[in-house]
Structure 1
Amino acid sequence: MKLAHCISRWLALFTLLACQRSNLFEPAEESAIRNPIFGPSGEVTIAIEVSGSHTEHYRAWCVETNGFIKYVDALQFDGQATAALTQQELSSLVALFLEKDFLHLQDSYESALTPSRLRYRVVFNHGGMQKIVHTDSVSAPASLQEILQRLTQQMAALRDKTLLLSLIADRDTLVQGQEAKFTFTVTNPHAHTVALVSGDQLADFFVAASQPVFDSELGGSYAPPYLWQAVEKTTSIRTVNVTNLPAGKSLVFQASWNGRSNNGVLLEGDFRVAARCATIPGGYSAWLPLRIIKGS
């Protein structure tokens, strides 16, 4: 039950934050810095969900028309990671889907006799057409197997740059008139340095309603507005900034909140708090619950 609850939280985060816009850029390569991506486009080109017989096998990866990527991996990390493909990488993936005639495949290639194998849900949008195919790791035809293999390789490459994002609050109940303090830690868990590309914003904290509202389709873009948001900016005036995060090192951001919304209203009830690393690669922490109550 605990794992199932965690998966629902990851799914909520994955879809709820799909449309939030920010200064997000491609990986720190010279060509990418010349051509920044300003956050998600809101239009999904390719998406894949992978699930097994156990909930901890769940993975999802979604790439939008401008190369912006959001993904979750229940085995590797909490929350949602973000990254970006170069235009060449994205064009190569789209070309593969067209070459293998994905738009004209059957809707399903699954066998009831293979319950323990990995299950895939693949989405492709192109030229005003959408195709969704369900399959498993054995029943897929050769053309679909090639697509699955390429997507799996791309997901593995992303993991080499995925950051660990941890949000801690000093309380789970906030009495009106007091302040809650949040600490957001961004860690490079790899044995190599990861270059983080950003605009003038490195991180932010935000509060939303306690119950997520999201589309059932992967990459849905319906989200309520943030009730409160605090932004951590860099001191540089450059359009693009590169922060090299060495192996095993962390960036730490902190914020305090007095329970008032951005327009000054003193809130009461149940809410959720999360933080975002606004770099590429970057991502969102898992949600933390926060209850606001009246003072005595």
Structure 2
Amino acid sequence: MNHRTTHFVLMAATLALLGCGRANLFEASENRNADPMLKANGEVTIALDVAGGLAGVQQNLTIYANGYTRFVDVQSGRGEIVASLSPEQYGELVALFLHSDFLHLDDRYMLENTADAFAYEVQFNYAGSRKRVVTDNLEAPAGLQAIIARLSELIRELTDKSLTLELTLDRAELQHGESVTLTLLAANQTRNTLRLHTGGQKFDFFAYPAAVLSPVPPSGLHGAEPVWRWAADKAFIAIVEEIALAPGERLQYSVVWEGKANSGELLEGTYYVGARLTASPGGSTALHELRITKR
């Protein structure tokens, strides 16, 4: 059996398991992937980067092999939105890529000299095969257009059901011997009740040296290591819990930080501080600058 035939056999099996219906990717499900810590596991299977347009859009959607899904809209300044797909929901997306024969598309579908067009970069890693396609979605074949349409729909579903996350600091400069209070506010500003799936750990706070994130702090921090993380030295009970948050309601978590690294070292310089709601849906706040100085 050749490589292409193998992909179609796998795709057919996946479609047979999924059936003909399609659930909303972020509806609660008895079969959802209930990882209460919401951590990326395995390689990135699907990624979509969108850039360009008159407004200078810069967006990234990343889906990992365990269903962990993250979305960043740099222009919005909102930080990072995360959610968890069930195995069935994840399989639906994989089946779409296989049905569209994505792994055998050309590398590029672009019209020349098109002003203010969006550029879509789609990546798919599956069964040892990797493919990256760049397109303006004007010259894209029907299968690729269907993939972009579905991933764009997924982004809308994710943002429509996300919390508004905000981090506040009670000071912008911290001298040695002082402390700063960090507060995470997670508000439901949608019209519907949001059901958050979480575990023993509900939140986290973290700090990165400005030099690590130079020249500007990125919205996605995967790969960078924080010098301080509130939860680093804490243990959490292994439970799965659901929290219902009605429209207008919010959660609030606060911690006090003395400007020390997890190693105990007293820090000095400029740092970017953020907060994370460890839930599905959840995510991270935009980063805030904090200067730590000697007395």
Q: How does the TM-score come out when normalised to structure 2?
A: 0.82
1:149 is the counterpart of 2:157: no
Q: For structure 1, which runs of at least 5 residues remain unmatched after alignment?
A: 1-25
Q: For structure 2, which runs of at least 5 residues remain unmatched after alignment?
A: 1-25
Return the alpha-carbon distance in structure 2 between the equivalents of residues 219 and 274 of structure 1. 11
Distance 1:171 1:55, change over 3 A: farther
Give the equivalent residue in structure 1 for 2:43: 43
Distance 1:209 1:42, change over 3 A: farther
Q: List aligned pairs for 1:1-296, cutoff 5 A.
A: 28-32=28-32, 38-74=38-74, 78-212=78-212, 221-224=222-225, 226-231=226-231, 239-295=239-295
Distance 1:229 1:35, change over 3 A: closer
The one-letter amino acid of 2:223's match is Y
Q: Rg bigger for which structure?
A: 2
What CA deviation, in whole Å up to 9, does each residue of 1:178-201 have, x standing for no partner? 111111111111000100111101
What CA deviation, in whole Å up to 9, does each residue of 1:197-256 have, x standing for no partner? 111011111112213469xxx9895222x2222249xxx956101111111211111111
Q: How does the TM-score come out when normalised to structure 1?
A: 0.81
What CA deviation, in whole Å up to 9, does each residue of 1:128-181 have, x standing for no partner? 111111101311111211111111122121122111111111122111111111
When the two structures are aligned, how many residues end up with a matched partner?
263
Distance 1:38 1:249, change over 3 A: closer
Return the alpha-carbon distance in structure 1 between the equivalents of residues 175 and 116 of structure 2. 48
Distance 1:95 1:29, change over 3 A: closer
> SS state of the match for residue 200, structure 1?
strand
Return the alpha-carbon distance in structure 2 between the equivalents of residues 28 and 256 of structure 1. 34
Distance 1:252 1:154, change over 3 A: same
Identity of counterpart residues, as a percentage?
36
Residue range with higher mean Cα deviation, 55-64 or 259-268: 55-64
**TM-fit CA distance, 1:42:** 4.4
The one-letter amino acid of 1:93's match is L
Q: Cα RMSD (Å) of the superposition?
A: 2.5
The one-letter amino acid of 1:40's match is A
